[in-house]
Amino acid sequence: MFDTLSERLRKTLATLTGRGRVSAADVDVAMRDVRLALLEADVNFKVVRDFVARVRERAEGAEILESLSAGQQVVKVVHEELVTMLTAGDRTLHLSGNPAVITLVGLQGSGKTTTAAKLAREIVKRGRRPLLVAADPYRPAAADQLETLGKALDIPVHRAPTGTTVLDIARGGLEAAKRQARDTVIIDTAGRLTIDDALMAEVRDLSAAVGAVETLLVVDAMTGQEAVNVATAFAATVPLTGLILTKVDGDARGGAALSISAVTGVAVKFLGTGEKSDALEVFHPDRLAGRILGMGDVQTLVERAQDVVDAKSAAKLEEKLRKASFTLEDMLEQLQQVQKMGPIGQLVGMIPGMGNLAGEAQAAVDRGELRRTEAIIRSMTPRERRDPSVIDGSRRRRIAAGSGTSLTDISRLVKQFSEMQRLMKQLGGMSGGRRGKLLSGQFPGAR
């Protein structure tokens, strides 16, 4: 969602960091480009105006313009002000009460039901026992969907017969949670196609009746400024405690995500980053700002890795790498684990300095290069995976036919893997200091 904006901002700020001293005129030109980039990304114009004014005021200070590292300092100011723009309200997810009640509200199509299941999974990771409540008596399909999602996650779902009122369903859910010793209740409320008084009254009455500690608005980030309008309308009449932005993995311009908190004063607490049940991220303004400016987001990358790789597997892999006994079977396992962490382009964008390669990395995945590599390895025998040197002409033809690839693809993969093994053997035979020099490119053959 932020790819275009990120690329524009990186290019603009690079004009400042690529020179020695920076003049007030240089800052003005850069701020004009930043302003255009934000407006084109559909960020609220008042938010853009205030943001640019704050950056310009700080960047044109004498202590920055007279510095030899003025460009880097201007980038630092932009990062800090971007974090300020993204920060509003209390981003903590409160879980007080027994059970703690969370109400999810929003319009139809915003991803409320899917988000309820994702949030339940997130709460399980925090050591709690949630119960999902399907409080939409108008759409039986919504209750069916929630029940299916709950079953996949092994989380119970409370639902009631058609014709039961929203309040009765919610109260029944609280009673069910107490009977089942569930300490958290997540209520998936009914949505509407548009905002109306009946919807607002129903949501307000429900939150008050069940003593909701959190009332979270689920908003589709791909709807642009309409998402901001929806959030503003809900915040004016419903006691919102936070926002969940869904579909931020989409290809919309991203302006809603950047301006929604600044306009409404309500904190974004989570980001929905995909369709799967684990595609929900805790929102960190500093991390998102870093991603947008190409500074990476190593912390989120590490957290995702920890979710899919257990310590025992990591230690085993480390030992194989150290002894240069890494095989194509291990490579296949690593490819599968990386894909579980999320879209490749998104992951590459989290590595500092690699933001400009995120699009290329994702394009390679979209072209099927990872699937092609996986298909080639799967078409090999166990012996071939352990020792690719046995792959002769006839074996290559068999592997190509089995994987639907060409002989060139097979040869390329085998060659790349041989180079990887050679490098690992070099690293394994070196002392720590020499190993670091090789990785940093100070020895021949390191690049």
Per-residue pLDDT at 445:
40
Which of the pair, 87 or 63, is modelled with greater confidence? 87
Integer Cα distance of 230 and 238 in angstroms: 12
439 pLDDT band, cuts 50/70/90, is: very low
In this structure, what are the phi and psi dihedrals at residue 403, rounded to the nearest 5 degrees? -100, -5
Integer Cα distance of 27 and 71 in angstroms: 9
| Residue that the structure tokens 């904190």 belong to | 267
Least confident of 184-193, 295-304, 335-344: 295-304
Per-residue pLDDT at 34:
86
Integer Cα distance of 48 and 42 in angstroms: 10
Mean pLDDT of the chain: 79
Mean local confidence (pLDDT), 342-367: 58
pLDDT in tens, 134-150: 988 888 788 899 999 99
With a cut of 90, say whether residue 20 has pLDDT above it.
no
447 pLDDT band, cuts 50/70/90, is: very low
310 pLDDT band, cuts 50/70/90, is: low
Tell me if 388 sits within 8 A of 421, measured CB to CB: no
Which of the pair, 440 or 327, is modelled with greater confidence? 327
Per-residue pLDDT at 443:
37
Helix %, strand %, coil % for the chain, to 5?
60, 10, 30
With a cut of 50, say whether residue 420 has pLDDT above it.
yes
pLDDT in tens, 48-81: 899 888 888 887 775 665 565 666 777 788 888 8
Integer Cα distance of 46 and 58 in angstroms: 19
Integer Cα distance of 305 and 303 in angstroms: 5
Per-residue pLDDT at 300:
59
Per-residue pLDDT at 100:
93
* Residue 115 buriedness (CB in 10 A; 0-12 / 13-18 / 19+): buried
In this structure, what are the phi and psi dihedrals at residue 22, rounded to the nearest 5 degrees? -125, 135
Domains and CATH numbers, the chain: 3-86 (1.20.120.140), 100-295 (3.40.50.300), 301-439 (1.10.260.30)
Integer Cα distance of 135 and 309 in angstroms: 36
With a cut of 60, say whether residue 429 has pLDDT above it.
no
Output DSSP code: residue 310. Answer: -
Q: Which ranges in 180-284 belong to alpha helices (H)?
A: 197-210, 225-237, 255-264
| Residue that the structure tokens 């959030």 belong to | 231
195: helix, strand or coil: coil
Mean local confidence (pLDDT), 324-350: 70
Tell me if 284 sits within 8 A of 350, measured CB to CB: no
pLDDT in tens, 219-246: 888 877 788 888 888 888 888 899 998 8
Percent of the residues in the chain that have a pLDDT greater than 90, as a whole number: 20
Whether cis (ω within 30° of 0) applies to the bond prior to 343 is: no
With a cut of 80, say whether residue 261 has pLDDT above it.
yes
Distances (CA, A) of 151 to 64, 136, 156, 173: 57, 18, 7, 17
Per-residue pLDDT at 18:
65
Strands 184-189 and 130-135: parallel
With a cut of 90, say whether residue 179 has pLDDT above it.
yes
Which of the pair, 55 or 163, is modelled with greater confidence? 55
Which residues lie closer than 8 Å to 433 by C-beta, 6 or more apart? none
- Closest C-alpha among 50, 73, 105 to residue 258: 50
Q: To which H or E segment does residue 156 belong? A: none
Mean local confidence (pLDDT), 85-111: 88
Output DSSP code: residue 272. Answer: E
Integer Cα distance of 177 and 349 in angstroms: 41
Q: Which two tokens stand for residue 168?
A: 């009765």
Per-residue pLDDT at 302:
59
With a cut of 90, say whether residue 335 has pLDDT above it.
no
Integer Cα distance of 429 and 436 in angstroms: 12
Integer Cα distance of 350 and 295 in angstroms: 8
pLDDT in tens, 382-403: 889 888 888 898 999 999 999 9
- What is the pTM assigned to this prediction? 0.68
Integer Cα distance of 290 and 50 in angstroms: 20
DSSP string over 300-336: HHHHHHHHH--HHHHHHHHHHHHTT---HHHHHHHHH
